[in-house]
């Protein structure tokens, strides 16, 4: 019976958040910690690995519910997978208290709060869409600055130094297609 940790942040810029999760998971005695830097809506390969790794009697430990599941349905599917393997789920900070699904009350609390969290997320997204629509109507909305375009000088410099597109993409954490697009734009000018 071991504690297996899972830590996730949504962007590569959230290094401190990932380090804090790793620290908290280590402090709870997690002997193995799976970490990833990926949005919850993307493919979460390390979560899949963690779910595959855990064995009967183990406990999957996360710092907060939002680091694990993207919706109530996703949460319930993860819990069902863990229950089939006789593995518990422990959330370290669940409204200021830890909660463990090894007890019936713990499962109830996680399910209820998972539904509430999804509801809050959907309300936030609704308000965000309304705010964007208002800003667009007033001519104030510009959208997100493209990440790869900001890195164009570094992409061009690395390419000029003979570094390949795959390595550039990996080191700058952008897609290869973005690297090719930037280099193509340069050749057109």
**How many residues are present in the chain?**
189
CA dist 156 to 167, 174, 176, Å?
A: 13, 14, 13
Region of residue 138 (phi > 0: left; psi between -120 and 50: alpha; otherwise: beta): alpha
Closest among 151, 176, 173 to 164, alpha carbons compared: 176
**Residue 86 annotated as catalytic:** no
Who contacts 19 (Cβ-Cβ below 8 Å, separation ≥6)?
Answer: none
Q: Give the number of C-alpha atoms closer than 13 A to the C-alpha of residue 164, restricted to the C-beta side.
A: 2
Q: Where are the beta strands (DSSP E) in the chain?
A: 3-9, 30-37, 59-62, 88-94, 97-100
- Cα(149)–Cα(36) distance, rounded to whole angstroms? 24
Active site residues: 10
């Amino acid at each position: 019976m071991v504690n297996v940790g899972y830590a996730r942040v949504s962007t590569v810029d959230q290094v401190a958040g990932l380090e804090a999760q790793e620290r908290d998971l280590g402090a709870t005695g997690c002997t193995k910690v799976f970490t990833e830097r990926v949005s919850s809506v993307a493919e979460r390969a390390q979560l899949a690995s963690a779910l595959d790794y855990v064995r009967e009697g183990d406990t999957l430990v996360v710092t907060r519910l939002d680091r694990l599941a993207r919706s109530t349905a996703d949460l319930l599917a993860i819990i069902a997978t863990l229950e089939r393997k006789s593995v518990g789920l422990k959330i370290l900070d669940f409204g200021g208290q830890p909660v463990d699904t090894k007890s019936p009350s713990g499962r109830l609390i996680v399910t209820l709060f998972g539904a509430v969290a999804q509801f809050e997320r959907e309300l936030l997204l609704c308000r965000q869409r309304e705010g964007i629509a208002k800003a667009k109507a007033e001519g104030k909305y510009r959208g997100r600055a493209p990440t790869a375009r900001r890195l164009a000088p570094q992409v061009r410099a690395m390419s000029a130094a003979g570094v390949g597109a795959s390595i550039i993409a990996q080191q700058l954490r952008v897609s290869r297609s973005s690297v090719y697009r930037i280099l193509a734009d340069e050749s057109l000018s």
